[in-house]
Chain A
């Protein structure tokens, strides 16, 4: 759409690689504007996002229920590729979008669950209660968010779960240095 006049591509060849440079096809969408320009696309987008916030509670409930359903299937059928994948995907989605929906503690609890699923050497040996506590924590955080005192409690709950999960993972992976490194590495996600 923005590329009306594609330019010639220049290829510089070296012994082990080629460096390919093409004129920037998107340059024409870059507009020079005076410093006094008052247009604020980021501010406009933040307002639009705030406009969606009325739907966040419902969306979060749907995500939490999907997580609980995936967990119920695991309890019924045990862990296999399909049940593991669905539980991970449900937790991973909450990890990614819960903070945007205003539930950062639910995102933290879901992240902790993702780490267990990803790094436990054998999911069958993970204490069932550890997984169940994560699911219950997400549900509790989502359902009780409107209560005034829940934000602090939710934060503490998520931190404690993460601590217990990390302790379990560190012990379970004591002979798997590549997993240990991943478990102990800092996240690149922006902090709250």
Chain B
């Protein structure tokens, strides 16, 4: 059995609603987290993301200035100075399937529909900590692998071409991100 040592995790939460921020903060502190930073809009969150280098981002979708979707897109810039790989959990009142697809295509790691529950939040955090997915970079996408289903039963259009070229070893982007701060 595994448990998360929340004491060692740094969170950034972004929600324009102060009540929801209070609930999130309460839940995370109860899990054992000590470092929880809060932003009330996407622009502030992006600034805090670069400054505090959080391990996990939890963001709302609908927010003023720029929203959670744009925040995810800004974080998922492979050439950016910050860490583009941090898990992003989108916590939102949008509960339609097409929204999940849009969030996924923006590079969101996990989607959690409101109303929030302690169990739902814990499970999403456990998922990003214990089962990180590789990242995929294409001309139009950079983010966690959107294929969660590993069986060979997929029958939709094939977006990826095969033909393996080479394996490149690169220095850690995280290290690069750190050295730029």
Which of the residues B16, B31, B95, B98 comes within 8 Å of A41, measured between beta carbons? Answer: B31
Does B128 belong to the interface (CB within 8 Å)?
Answer: yes
Residues of B1-32 whose CB lies within 8 A of A: 1-6, 8-10, 16-17, 19-20, 22-23, 26-27, 29-32
Chain A contact patch, size range: 35 or more
When the two chains form their complex, are residues B20 and A185 in contact, meaning their CB atoms are under 8 A apart?
Answer: no
When the two chains form their complex, are residues B62 and A49 in contact, meaning their CB atoms are under 8 A apart?
Answer: no
Q: How many A-B residue pairs have CB under 8 A?
A: 216
Contacts of A166 in B (CB 8 A): none
When the two chains form their complex, are residues B118 and A1 in contact, meaning their CB atoms are under 8 A apart?
Answer: no
Does B100 belong to the interface (CB within 8 Å)?
Answer: yes
When the two chains form their complex, are residues B95 and A188 in contact, meaning their CB atoms are under 8 A apart?
Answer: yes
When the two chains form their complex, are residues A10 and B136 in contact, meaning their CB atoms are under 8 A apart?
Answer: no
When the two chains form their complex, are residues B10 and A185 in contact, meaning their CB atoms are under 8 A apart?
Answer: no
Considering the chains assembled together, what is the distance between the CA atoms of A28 and B10 in angstroms? 13
Does A46 belong to the interface (CB within 8 Å)?
Answer: yes
Contacts of A15 in B (CB 8 A): 161-163, 165
Knowing A32-B1, A41-B122, A45-B30, the reply to whether A18 touches B136 (Cβ < 8 A) is yes
Tally B residues with Cβ within 8 Å of A: 76
When the two chains form their complex, are residues A30 and B129 in contact, meaning their CB atoms are under 8 A apart?
Answer: yes
| Chain B min CB distance to A135 (Å) | 17
* Interface-facing stretch out of B41-49, B148-156, B166-174: B166-174
Residue of B nearest to A23 (CB): B172
Contacts of A95 in B (CB 8 A): 93, 114
Considering the chains assembled together, what is the distance between the CA atoms of A187 and B96 in angstroms? 5
Considering the chains assembled together, what is the distance between the CA atoms of A38 and B130 in angstroms? 20
When the two chains form their complex, are residues A17 and B136 in contact, meaning their CB atoms are under 8 A apart?
Answer: yes
Residue of B nearest to A20 (CB): B135
Give per-residue flags for A17-54: 1 if the beta carbon is below 8 A from chain B beta carbons, else 0: 11111101111111111110101011011111101100
Contacts of B30 in A (CB 8 A): 41, 44-45, 47-49
Considering the chains assembled together, what is the distance between the CA atoms of A15 and B159 in angstroms? 11
Give per-residue flags for A58-69: 1 if the beta carbon is below 8 A from chain B beta carbons, else 0: 010011000000
Consensus secondary structure, chain B interface: mixed
Contacts of B31 in A (CB 8 A): 41, 44-45
Which of the residues A9, A19, A190 comes within 8 Å of B113, measured between beta carbons? Answer: A190
Does B79 belong to the interface (CB within 8 Å)?
Answer: no
Does B92 belong to the interface (CB within 8 Å)?
Answer: yes
Which of the residues B3, B22, B95 comes within 8 Å of A39, measured between beta carbons? Answer: B3
* Interface-facing stretch out of A96-104, A120-128, A151-159: A96-104
Does A140 belong to the interface (CB within 8 Å)?
Answer: no
Contacts of A1 in B (CB 8 A): 8-10, 35, 53-55
Considering the chains assembled together, what is the distance between the CA atoms of A19 and B99 in angstroms? 25
Knowing A44-B31, A48-B27, the reply to whether A31 touches B136 (Cβ < 8 A) is no
Which of the residues A31, A62, A89 comes within 8 Å of B2, measured between beta carbons? Answer: A31
Does A72 belong to the interface (CB within 8 Å)?
Answer: no
Could you list some 16 contacts between A and B, CB below 8 A? A6-B175, A9-B170, A16-B138, A18-B136, A20-B134, A20-B136, A22-B173, A30-B3, A31-B4, A41-B6, A41-B31, A42-B122, A47-B30, A48-B26, A51-B26, A97-B19
- Seed contacts A32-B2, A97-B116; 15 additional CB < 8 Å A-B pairs: A1-B10, A1-B53, A8-B170, A15-B163, A19-B136, A27-B129, A28-B5, A29-B129, A49-B26, A51-B26, A96-B20, A97-B93, A98-B115, A100-B23, A107-B115
Minimum-distance CB pairs A-B, first 3: A96-B93, A96-B114, A189-B95
